[in-house]
Amino acid sequence: MNRSVLKWYPRIAAIALLAFTIYVCLDTFVLSTKWSPEGGENQTLSREDLAASMAVDKPTGAADPSPTPNANLTTEPTPTPSGEQQVVSNDHYYSDGKITVTISTARAYNTDFYIADVVVSSPDYIKTALANDTYGKNIKAKTSDTASQNNAILAVNGDYYGARETGYVVRNGVLYRSSKTEGSDALAILADGSLKIVDENQVSCQELMDMGAWDVLSFGPGLVIDGEISVDEDEEIGHYQHNNPRTAIGQIGPLHYVFVVCDGRTSESYGITLLQEAEFMKSLGCVQAYNLDGGGSSTLYFNGNIINKPTADGKTFGERKVTDIVYIGY
């Protein structure tokens, strides 16, 4: 082979490598792919039937709250819904006799917290939704858009399942993915409204569904399990920095939840560690609490408005598009 041909080999190789790199980036971050659910689209049991068939322990009530240092909590008392009544709704409160949501704020760890205290009369009102009602890779929408499309009263970002190819995914009783993520905790929202946190290495997705799981999310870690903090000061998610915006969901008692989002990555709000997040959730009385996707994804939606200040870099503000939400609504 002559030298004139050989001299083109490095250029061809460089072009091929560049093309491959561009494809990988597009496939990872841009190109949308609809995935098929492992369990099929149709389910044999309704949520009510599944709840009726469950034989699991239910939460016995709130843990004894031990206040987070400097939390300065200002939550309003939340009445338990009882019967039909006229809707009362404003920028920090919603009640219609079946769903009651109280929004409050707190300041701790040089960070602003936004707290939604939720009491519902039925587990049917705690729900999940996929962006564009579609399961797949890079199928994303703003939390507010997915919430609005589903008539949500309250919503937070979910686990961003679409950024990974492992980790349990069950939504509205449909099994989408059963492959585990090593070292990851899963959150099961059972058909009766109970929250259950498990190690994916210890409990399979099918076992969770057999226990009555209606929704299963995979991010974590679990923050409070059976009333005890379950993380330590050295625990963190992958390679990410310790102080971040965070999103968490917790259960105080039967059909009584808290959704918490905190800001971060700014001089006004530094962000928190997982241990600080766990301490804060326990201070609210959570017997179970779980960390959802955070950082630029952390978003709290209520009555048509974004309550917190989402940011990925502390310089630009606005919602990041995500693949799913957890919400309260009909």
**Is residue 6, in this structure, part of any structural domain at all?**
no
- Of 41-50, 112-121, 263-272, which gets the smallest average pLDDT? 41-50
Q: List pLDDT tens digits, range 167-218.
A: 999 999 999 999 999 999 999 999 999 999 999 999 999 999 999 999 999 9
Range of the domain at 48: 32-329
**Is residue 11, in this structure, part of any structural domain at all?**
no
More confident call, 14 vs 99:
99
Q: List pLDDT tens digits, range 194-204.
A: 999 999 999 99
Q: List pLDDT tens digits, range 119-142.
A: 999 999 999 999 999 999 999 999
**Is residue 18, in this structure, part of any structural domain at all?**
no
Cα–Cα distances in angstroms (integers) from residue 262 to residues 44, 70, 218, 245, 276, in the given order = 39, 15, 20, 5, 11
**Is residue 17, in this structure, part of any structural domain at all?**
no
- In the chain, the amino acid numbered 312 is A
The token pair that represents 83 in the structure block = 């019967």
Residue 65 has pLDDT above 60, yes or no: no
**Is residue 24, in this structure, part of any structural domain at all?**
no
pLDDT of residue 74: 38
Cα–Cα distances in angstroms (integers) from residue 221 to residues 104, 145, 185, 197, 275, in the given order = 25, 27, 5, 9, 10
Enter the pTM of the model: 0.83
**Is residue 21, in this structure, part of any structural domain at all?**
no
pLDDT of residue 9: 62
**Is residue 135, in this structure, part of any structural domain at all?**
yes
pLDDT band of 14, cuts 50, 70, 90: low
Q: Please tell me the total count of domains within the chain.
A: 1
**Is residue 27, in this structure, part of any structural domain at all?**
no
Q: List pLDDT tens digits, range 295-321.
A: 999 999 999 999 999 999 999 999 999
